[in-house]
Structure 1
Amino acid sequence: MALDASQKEAERQRALDYHEFPKPGKLEIRPTKPMATARDLARAYSPGVAEACTEIAADPAKATRYTAKRNLVAVISNGTAVLGLGNIGAQASKPVMEGKAVLFKKFAGIDCFDIEVDEADPEALADIVCKLEPTFGAINLEDIKAPDCFTVERICRERMGIPVFHDDQHGTAIVVAAAAQNALKIAGKQPEDIKIVGLGAGAAGVACLTMLHKMGVPLENITVFDRDGVLHPDRQNLAPEQMLFTRSEQSTTLEQALKGADMFLGVSGPGALPADYVREMADNPIILALANPVPEIMPEEAREASPGAMIATGRSDYPNQVNNVLCFPFIFRGALDAESKEINDAMKLACVDAIASLARQTTSAEVGVAYEGETLTFGPEYLIPKPFDPRLLPTIAVAVAKAAMESGAARRNLDLEAYRQTLEAEVFRSSLIMRGVFAAARRSKRKIVFAEGEDDRVLRAAQAMVEDSVDTPILVGRPEVVAGRLERAGLSIQPGRDFEIVNPESDDRYRDYWQAYHEVMRRQGVTPDLAKAVLRTNTTAIAATMVHRGEADSMICGTFGQYLWHLNYVTQMLATNELSPAGALSLVILDEGPLFVADTHVNVEQTPETLARTVLAAARHVRRFGAEPKIALCSGSQFGNLDSRSGRAMRGALAILDSEARDFEYEGEMHTDAALDANLRERLLPGNRLSGRANVLLFANTDAAGAARNLLKTAAGGLEVGPILMGMGNRAHIVTPGVTPRGLLNIAALAGSDVSSYG
């Protein structure tokens, strides 16, 4: 959707606000050790810190034991080649470097300092970087222009004993090589037999071609062009890395080179590959058109020119996006954990193989849910995995660590299976747990009706939905009120174009709605006049009726009012013998990982039967997020030591659950500290059936569950997703009055995911 000038300015301001508020920048530093007492301070600094210093002085390798070095990366740039902005200088590059540091943290749990250096001379810049070695476990060079980047990396790799990785070169090259490996498998071709034409001889282009050569493509089969024409032996001022590809005749043209070529690699500019040239390529050519945001040739043009073409771009709105985030967080994770001296060719090729093999594997259940509606079967439309595939971290990091150990680069030997298990657990403790849900919402094309469509928070969430997903918002509200608030908030969405609107005062379907409501409620004391009154004033009932009639796939309500009041109307219209409220589940995202709390709103006082049903529903929904449920039944009683109401209810629920085999872990009744502390729990009940930290806390009444949820949000700084209404087939969700626009967007993503089988 093209934006006009005012919309572009509004979007620009939103981007600036994102970087400025609530505090400038995207990073902060937090302590990882207790700092609450004088003893803590004495250990953190003087005199206790001297013990760590003397150990490191005696053995420098111990820095990775007593400091954060093994998990600390420097993202370093001089700002000479920033994104599509060019040479904007070191300071202007800082937002980008902060962003890269955030990606390291979010995708792989790696801490970063971004360092912007005002130094244009590549040898001087390299000297500065080398002097930082005592601080960091690895160096990520970023956005340094070619050919300077080759010089900087070469010097740093020669002088430093830690990994140095220029992601613009090698991250892109690794993902390209993975896509090429799989495309060649599909085409039935071998690397040594193919002919490649490259357009663009900068850092990324040269690195990609070098990686393809290391995969087995002969140098004489590679022809490279840049803005000055073909690379040939008489070209001047080429870096040694570029000279590797100067084997062509000076007179060679791009059109000539592409005749019969098997692969085109473009890292140049928009529209640089004419469709006529593609027609002259070999059958089923591989087109890697990576210029961003407009590639060298649009995928539809390339496919029209050669129907069997396998195409990858840098864009997220086409299949096979070549995105460095598939690589760099995870290759660094493996290198750091193995305490590697470098990231060598063996580690890069291991990363290539890991990414490529992951795309060939059967898609896991959580990835299938996250990318509902997309083709995730290995083939021309799925050559490389999706960025939010949770298997990327354990698969790539383990492969890289293994290669580091086998190639002699590692200083630390890892138990690879134990390492894999640690990484797999880490994946589901991260706040990325919602990312897959958002991706699913972008593919599902569901209609989501907001009962309180006039609320500013709803309008902002609807704006974000339109920008970030393919779901259609439906707003229940007066058109003139909605229009006025959209204008006041500076939002660009418009009724008819971006969302549907239902006017509770005069919608043409009013008669159909009240009659549908009356038909359902006629034997529950609702007269036609009462049905008319309800459907004229009660927006929750309107939304529920729309879902009942199939005019919307799911509804969201609750931005004002009491939860159970809304639940009454939701249940009236949407509950059936198969679907009825089983409980409300809140996901609270903490620094330590996600924690689910139930039942926070539905069953005010639980019975053994409702508790057992809530447990089963919670287990289904936890798996919706790609995690295995470990459910603790929490009570004031601990393993039978108190004859309280909650203790009896929990013991009754356990008996019901134990009556059949279950495929998830649960245990009770216990205090919450025992649920979260496996060592304490083992002392209290040796051999209990819950392993590790529980990830679901189930309480016997909404008072206790709500208190736990609120404490986790406020005192522990958790971010809530939910409450998630379980048992209703994903057809309804009820938020709470304190919900933020982001919270509504999270719920909309859940509602927008076509996962009704979760109940």
Structure 2
Amino acid sequence: MSDDKPDGLREAALHYHEYPRPGKLEIRATKPLANGRDLARAYSPGVAEASLEIKDDPGNAARYTARGNLVAVVSNGSAVLGLGNIGALASKPVMEGKAVLFKKFAEIDCFDIEVNEPDPEKLADIVCALEPTFGAINLEDIKAPDCFIVEQICRERMGIPVFHDDQHGTAIVVGAAATNALHVAGKAFEDIKVVSTGGGAAGIACLNMLLKLGVRRENVWLCDIDGLVHEGRGNSTPQKDAYAQGDRAMGLGDVIAGADLFLGLSGPGVLTPEMVGKMAERPIIFALANPTPEILPEAVRAVAPDAIIATGRSDFPNQVNNVLCFPFIFRGALDVGATEINDAMQLACIDGIAALARATTSAEAAAAYKGEQLTFGVDYLIPKPFDPRLMAVVAGAVAEAAMASGVATRPIADLGAYRAKLNESVFKSALVMRPVFEAAATAERKIVFAEGEDERVLRAAQAMVQETTDVPILIGRPEVIAARIERAGLVIEPGRDVELVNPENDPRYRDYWETYHRLMARKGVSPDLARAIMRTNTTAIGAVMVQRGEADSLICGTFGQYLWHLNYICQVLGADDFHPVAALSLLILEDGPLFIADSQIHPTPTPQQIAETVIGCARHIRRFGVEPKIALCSGSQFGNLDSDSGQRMRAALALLDSETRDFVYEGEMHVDSALDPELRARVFPNCRLEGAANALVFASTDAAGATRNILKMKANGLEVGPILMGMGNRAHIVTPSITARGLLNISALAGTPVSHYG
């Protein structure tokens, strides 16, 4: 097998598995275990209390143990990927990989269990005995027909979901792809002829699913290595015999004529171009054998240019990948305590996946698959695995179907809140941004984007149209914006969903340059210069629009230097007695939000500027529903060093103390003291801060910027902002690293009326 790998892949894969430590999994404690009290609660004697609660009510296992979020991936290694019967031990890297996918895509904990047991009934006995440990079982890479036997026994005897992903996971993704392929082709399940090769677990499960979706049994033709499965053939299985057609031997070439859908789960080269030529108009070809499909897409296109093609490979469009299904169907099943994964849940999964592909692709998926066209159609039938919307859409649909079909033991009262919670687990900013979006929804504001041609801006604008009441205004060339909307597969329409300002030819051009000249005439700006700036400087154009009342807030900075943008904002909007106080960044970390200021505006702020920054921080932090606890950070700690930063911080503290404040602040101190209450108590027992500070104000932009960037890069902090404080919410300057999701977040901040935060 290694000879078929691309250059370097074998070595890279082995290195990946071996370093920095062998394998892909580890176990971590979720509770503290640092002292005797922790030990007493975690183990003897305190653990007995949890055990007794579970003894009295087995349902309490989901409250007091990890069982409710724990899945077992079980295999005997008898049919591993394209490697065959390599045994349980050799299957372990694959099963570890499956466990990693559970964690990555659905935050489900997973143990891989490899069992040396070829007998399917004995293997089923072993799996059934594991029920007290796990909330669900994922059977994996067990050969047919043994897999059917194992699953049937386990489903009959166990009270938790048992799901053979090779069967049902493949069937679900094939069902979603087929749903959308027929949508594109203008055909219906009940009318199509299906020809399939491969009578293994996945092939049979896919045919069973197609019948549930509406395909007629008499329109299904199943072939295997011996040709057509027909009545009385003899060398077959009960699962294959259910699809027997006719009473005589025929080959694939004999039955392919007029087929609308070819479903291949067999081997390379099984389907020839000549066979494709016999199929119906606009044929649908799912050549899913790996690593080499039954026929390559280019061979299909040579015969049938209008064909709709899917494979199992990531280097071709429409990869049928089980990861679109299994993490999310288990997520929904576990969350409602489902006793099984039934047909209703599987069909709901299909509907969710298919509908998501027909919706506009997400910015996150587009970023993960740069250069690919993610617009619903022939080459985009199903979502990409890294589309973060899969969690809420698919898991939510599965949970709802489980409750409706009566298999949920822990029904969810509010499905809307449940889906929001799922989104929060994927979009780290969703929870902390919720109060901001709620406040922004109380008023319709116009937000102008200076860099309206940027694809991130276009995606943010579409999200604004779909998720908020704000109106996006894009500054840019209409033809460029239209081309990039089409290229990105977006559905916003300029003039209907978003307003446009064309810097090259806008009827308001004269009004804009005259306004700019009026503001800047005594600052060296001539009429000619004003005209030139209003043709080329989109930040200045956006600021003039806000100044004239044609927009409520400006967002700029997706490229260029922060202070360059700030200069034009101050020129235009500073004329109305606004002045920038500081730039405030919110970093969303694993243990919660942390605010950082000032990373951009005042390189070495004065005590007055520091005090204004602290006051501004408190006001803006409350926009997120967080009560501010602000630390003034410097190289000096409570007067122990008479440094420049210490002196300025002490003077700022005195200014703050000169009036009554309705928020908590303290300084000057080191960052570790701000974040560690125990350390701070040893250094300064009478500190007015309680607990860890949630905002750090620094004595220089160098210190604030370095802290912000370290947290982003090394602590995986997600930034919201920077928020430009002091400008009355009339302008915000982002940084070039911002994402489309970040732009949506800052637009929500810009869309919040000033009355909501001071």
What's the TM-score, normalizing by structure 2? 0.64
Residues 98-109 of structure 1: pairs in structure 2 closer than 5 A? 98-109=96-107
1:278 corresponding residue in structure 2: 276
CA distance in 1, matches of 2:75, 2:6: 32
> How far does the alpha carbon of each residue in 1:508-558 deviate from its partner, in whole angstroms, 9 at most, with x for none?
xxxxxxxxxxxxxxxxxxxxxxxxxxxxxxxxxxxxxxxxxxxxxxxxxxx
How many Å apart are 1:38 and its aligned residue?
1.5
Report the counterpart of residue 415 of structure 2 in structure 1.
416
1:728: Cα distance to partner? Answer: 10
Aligned to 1:394: 392
What SS is found at the alignment partner of 1:287?
A: strand
Distance 1:344 1:593, change over 3 A: farther
Uncovered stretches (5+) of structure 2, i.e. residues with no partner:
431-454, 457-559, 571-580, 617-622, 634-647, 677-691, 724-731, 748-758
1:244-283 deviation per Cα after TM superposition (whole angstroms, max 9, x unaligned):
2123443222112211111011111122211111111111
The Cα shift of 1:700 comes to 6.0
The match for 1:242 is: 240
Matching of residues 353-372 of structure 1 within 5 Å: 353-371=351-369
Could you tell me how far apart the structure 2 residues matched to 1:255 and 1:322 are? Answer: 25
- Shift of the 247–379 alpha-carbon distance from structure 1 to 2, 3 Å rule, reads same
The answer to whether structure 1 residue 335 and structure 2 residue 333 are counterparts is: yes
Contact 2:258 2:280 in 1 (8 A): yes
Asked if the contact 2:631–2:695 (Cα under 8 Å) also holds between the matched residues in 1, the reply is no
- Measured at CA, do residues 257 and 237 of structure 1 come closer, stay the same or move farther in structure 2, by a change above 3 Å? closer
- 1:614-653 CA deviation, whole Å, 9 max, x = no partner? xx9xxxxxxxxxxx99999874269xxx9967679999xx
- 1:597–1:705 contact (8 Å) kept in structure 2: yes
User: Would you say the 8 A contact 2:563–2:600 is kept in 1?
Assistant: no
Structure 1 Cα separation of the partners of residues 383 and 83 of structure 2: 28
Give me the whole-angstrom Cα distance separating, in 2, the residues matched to 1:676 and 1:427. Answer: 26
Q: Distance in 2 between matches of 1:210 and 1:133?
A: 28
CA 1:588–1:290 in structure 2 vs 1: closer, same or farther (change >3 Å)? farther
Once the two structures are overlaid, the 10-residue window that deviates more, 45-54 or 362-371, is 362-371
Matched, 1:297 2:292: no
Shift of 1:97: 0.7
Q: Structure 1 residues 669 and 107, CA, compared in 2 at 3 Å: closer, same or farther? A: farther
Structure 2 vs 1, CA of residues 78 and 722 (structure 1 numbering), >3 Å: closer, same or farther? same
User: Compared with structure 1, are the counterparts of its residues 369 and 586 closer, same or farther at alpha carbon in structure 2 (3 Å cutoff)?
Assistant: farther
Match of 1:95 in 2: 93
- Residue 251 of structure 2 is matched in structure 1 by 253
In structure 2, do the counterparts of structure 1 residues 381 and 7 end up closer, same or farther at CA, with 3 Å as the change threshold? closer
Give me the whole-angstrom Cα distance separating, in 2, the residues matched to 1:244 and 1:676.
66
Q: Is the 1:338–1:404 contact (alpha carbons within 8 Å) kept by the matching residues of 2?
A: yes
Deviations 1:40-81 (A, max 9, x none): 111111111111111111211211111111000001111111
Q: 2:715 aligns with which of 715, 718, 743?
A: 718
Q: Secondary structure at the match of 1:288?
A: strand
* 2:562–2:735 CA contact under 8 A, matched in 1: no
Match status 1:316 vs 2:314 = yes
1:719 Cα offset (Å): 4.4
- 2:137 corresponding residue in structure 1: 139
CA 1:376 to 1:697, structure 2 compared with 1: closer, same or farther past 3 Å? Answer: farther
CA distance in 2, matches of 1:99, 1:696: 39
Any idea what the Cα deviations from partners look like across 1:161-203, whole Å, max 9, x if unmatched? 1000111111111011001011112222221111001111111
**Deviation (angstroms), 1:338:** 0.6
* 2:342 counterpart (344, 369, 372): 344
Query: What does residue range 1-400 of structure 1 map to in structure 2 within 5 Å?
Result: 8=7, 10-236=8-234, 238-371=236-369, 373-400=371-398
Inter-CA distance 16–697: structure 2 relative to 1 (3 Å threshold): farther
C-alpha deviation, 1:606, in angstroms: 5.4
Distance verdict in 2 for CA 1:140–1:246, change over 3 Å: same
Aligned residue among 631, 634, 644 for 1:636: 631
Cα distance in 2 between the residues matched to 1:186 and 1:127? 46
Displacement, 1:308? 1.6
Give yes or no for contact 2:176–2:351 (8 Å, CA) kept in 1: yes
Percent identity of equivalent pairs: 59
Counterpart code for 1:705: A
Residue pair 2:76, 2:114 contacting (<8 A) in 1 also: yes
Aligned counterparts, 1:584-603, within 5 A = 591=590
Specify the code of the residue in structure 1 equivalent to 2:148: F
Distance in 2 between residues matched to 1:181 and 1:331, nearest whole Å: 18
Q: Indicate if the aligned counterparts of 1:584 and 1:723 stay in contact, CA closer than 8 A.
A: no
What displacement does 1:349 show? 0.4
1:321–1:708 CA distance, 2 compared to 1 (3 A)? same
Aligned length: 555
Shift of 1:698: 7.2
Q: Answer whether contact 1:193 1:217 (CA < 8 A) is retained.
A: yes
Q: SS of the residue aligned with 2:222?
A: strand
Q: Is the 1:106–1:430 contact (alpha carbons within 8 Å) kept by the matching residues of 2?
A: no
Question: Given that residues 429 and 593 in structure 1 are in contact (C-alpha distance below 8 angstroms), is that contact kept between their aligned partners in structure 2?
Answer: no
Report if aligned partners of 1:646, 1:700 keep a CA contact under 8 Å in 2.
no
What are the within-5 Å matches in structure 2 for residues 593-742 of structure 1? 604-605=603-604, 635-636=630-631, 701-702=700-701, 705=704, 718-719=715-716
Match for 1:636: what amino acid?
A
Larger radius of gyration: 2
Change (3 A) 1:227 1:183: same
The answer to whether the 8 Å contact 2:285/2:308 transfers is: yes
Residue 424 (structure 2) pairs with residue 425 (structure 1): yes
* 1:369–1:29 Cα change, 3 Å: closer
Q: In structure 1, what is the Cα distance between the partners aligned to 2:599 and 2:67? A: 42
Match of 1:463 in 2: none
Distance 1:301 1:118 in 2: 42
Q: Measure the CA separation in 1 of the matches of 2:252 and 2:694.
A: 58
TM-score by length of 1: 0.64
Check whether the contact 1:579–1:728 (CA below 8 A) recurs between aligned residues. no
- What secondary structure does 2:631 align onto? coil
SS at match of 2:49: helix
Task: Please identify, of 68-77 and 262-271, the stretch whose mean Cα deviation from structure 2 is larger.
Answer: 262-271
Q: Which amino acid aligns with 1:259?
A: A
> What secondary structure does 1:92 align onto?
coil
Post-superposition shift, 1:611? 12
SS in 1 for 2:428: coil
Q: For residue 520 of structure 2, what is the aligned residue in structure 1?
A: none
Q: Distance in 1 between matches of 2:709 and 2:322?
A: 38
- Give a deviation string over 1:580-636, Cα, whole Å, max 9, x none: 9x99999988555897866668964458999999xx9xxxxxxxxxxx999998742
Which deviations, in whole Å up to 9, do the C-alpha atoms of 1:310-352 show, x marking residues without a partner? 1111122222111111111000000000100000111000000
What secondary structure sits across from 1:636 in the alignment?
strand
Distance 2:210 2:61 in 1: 37
| 1:11 positional shift | 3.7
Q: Conserved in 2, the CA contact under 8 Å of 1:629 and 1:695? A: no
The alpha-carbon deviation at position 114 of structure 1 amounts to 0.6
CA–CA distance in structure 1, aligned partners of residues 151 and 589 of structure 2: 38
**Counterparts of 1:228 and 1:209, CA distance in 2:** 18
Residues 564-583 of structure 1 aligned to structure 2 (within 5 Å) = none
Name the structure 2 match of 1:458. none
Partner SS for 1:259: coil
Structure 1 residues 573 and 594, CA gap change in structure 2 (3 angstroms): closer
